[in-house]
Amino acid sequence: MKGAIHLASASPRRKLLLEQMGLRCTVIGVDVDEPMDQTWYALDLAKNLSERKMIACLNQRPELRDDAWILTADTLIVLGDEKIGKAYNREDAARILNLLQGRTHQVITAFSIYSPRSRTYVTEHESTDVTFSSMDSMEIDDYLDTGEWIGVAGAYRIQEQGGKYVSSLNGTYYNVMGLPINLIYGILRLLNFGN
């Protein structure tokens, strides 16, 4: 797949994944609140956050509406009834890892793709179940020292040192990294991206 897409996300992993798909990727900044409203269903919350980013992007960068393909995304973790986003600080990251260790959680990534042809966007999602090994307090402390917890949902990165604590995965690995690239590829094909 060839073509250019604007990524409204500061995530270097998402940029890398789009480039792995063969896309030229331009990162654009979007200023938007990301409230982690615990009263919403997790899937609805993830979709809402992705769409909020898209609406903010189109409002803040109206010059992109006519000819730019745009992608926004939001990833969150679900453990029982709790929705977990990015850790606020090291203490919060330790709390999250203590919750996840020895248990299975769900990673939901919702994404929105804007087509300049139709001047509208579609929103989809992918879910993956991830089971963590048990971690003792020293392992959690050592992992926090890596800094990988900063800026990622669930306070871990599966593609880096965090992967050694993942005992099983049911679903798409790339979804846990931040973008379900196979699903995105299929939607871009349906939207005639690059033609």
Tens digits of residue pLDDT in 92-130: 999 999 999 999 999 999 999 999 999 999 999 999 999
Report yes or no on 176 lying in a domain.
Answer: yes
pLDDT of residue 182: 95
Report yes or no on 169 lying in a domain.
Answer: yes
Number of domains in the chain: 1
- Asked if the model's pLDDT at residue 1 lies above 70, the reply is no
| High-pLDDT (> 90) share of the chain, % | 73
Per the document, the length of the chain is 195
Query: Is position 74 annotated as part of the catalytic site?
Result: yes
Report yes or no on 195 lying in a domain.
Answer: no
Report yes or no on 111 lying in a domain.
Answer: yes
Residue with tokens 């480039």: 19
Which range of residues forms the domain containing residue 48?
4-190
| Set 31, 44, 74, 136: catalytic member | 74
In this predicted model, what pLDDT tens digit does every residue of 138-167 receive, in sequence order? 999 999 999 999 999 999 999 999 999 999
CATH of the domain at 183: 3.90.950.10
pLDDT of residue 183: 96
pLDDT band for position 37 (cuts 50, 70, 90)? low
pLDDT of residue 40: 66
Whole-prediction pTM: 0.90
Report yes or no on 131 lying in a domain.
Answer: yes
Report yes or no on 42 lying in a domain.
Answer: yes
- Contact (CB, 8 A) for 36 and 85: yes
In this predicted model, what pLDDT tens digit does every residue of 48-88 receive, in sequence order? 999 999 999 999 999 988 899 999 999 999 998 888 989 99
pLDDT of residue 10: 80
List of E strands, 135-186: 166-170
Residue with tokens 């690239």: 181
Long-range contacts of 133-139 (CB under 8 A, 24+ apart): 133/101, 133/102, 133/165, 133/166, 133/167, 134/101, 134/102, 135/97, 135/101, 135/102, 135/165, 139/165
Q: How far, CA to CA in Å, does 143 sit from each of 27, 67, 121, 140?
A: 29, 43, 38, 5
